[in-house]
């Protein structure tokens, strides 16, 4: 188990680190990150420490989804953005830098400083797509 000192998000939950907390539930917290990508950018985290989505139990994952929706609705009503991203990175290769599962709720406006989040179009070979589909479908029992 990770110590509170080692995880900045655990420190926020324990009120050992300052944060602009907008909502606390019994099992989760929503707050502004230190360097928001846009105004209104929030993080939603479970209060218990989970490194990534693969370590979440289904009950916690379900509740986090409901909390993200609640926060997204509040941000939409308060700021009237043109759109919104929900971002969850898992693992260093996916740009996760704090290993406490968190969902970014990022309001977006035309021409904001975020820019595009998808790579240029890539034309995949049909054989690669078929092989990938088959591998995932097999894991799902299809």
Superfamily of segment(s) 4-139: HIT-like (3.30.428.10)
Name the residue ranges covered by the structural domains of the chain: 4-139
Identify the helix (H) or strand (E) that includes residue 73: helix 58-79
Residues marked as catalytic: 102
Helices (H) and strands (E) in the chain, counts: 3, 5
Residues 6 or more apart whose CB falls under 8 angstroms from that of 81 comprise: 38, 40, 75, 107, 108, 109
Confidence of residue 1 (pLDDT cuts 50, 70, 90): low
Question: pTM here?
Answer: 0.90
Residue identified by tokens 């110590």 is 3
Residue identified by tokens 């591998």 is 135
In tens, the pLDDT along 28-75 reads: 999 999 999 999 999 999 999 999 999 999 999 999 999 999 999 999
- The answer to whether residues 63 and 76 touch, using CB atoms and an 8 Å cutoff, is no
Task: Tell me how long the chain is.
Answer: 142
């Amino acid at each position: 188990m990770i110590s509170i000192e080692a995880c900045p998000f655990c420190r926020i939950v324990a009120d050992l680190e300052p944060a602009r907390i907008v909502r606390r539930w019994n099992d989760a917290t929503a707050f502004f990150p230190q360097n928001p990508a846009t105004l209104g950018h929030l993080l939603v985290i479970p209060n218990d420490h989970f490194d990534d989505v693969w370590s979440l139990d289904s009950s916690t994952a379900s509740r986090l989804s409901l909390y993200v929706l609640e926060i997204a609705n509040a941000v939409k009503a308060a700021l009237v953005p043109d759109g919104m991203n929900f971002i969850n990175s898992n693992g260093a290769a996916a740009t996760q830098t704090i290993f406490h599962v968190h969902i970014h709720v990022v309001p977006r406006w035309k021409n904001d400083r975020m820019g595009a989040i998808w790579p240029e179009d890539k034309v995949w070979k049909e054989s690669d797509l078929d092989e990938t589909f088959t591998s995932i479908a097999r894991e799902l029992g299809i």
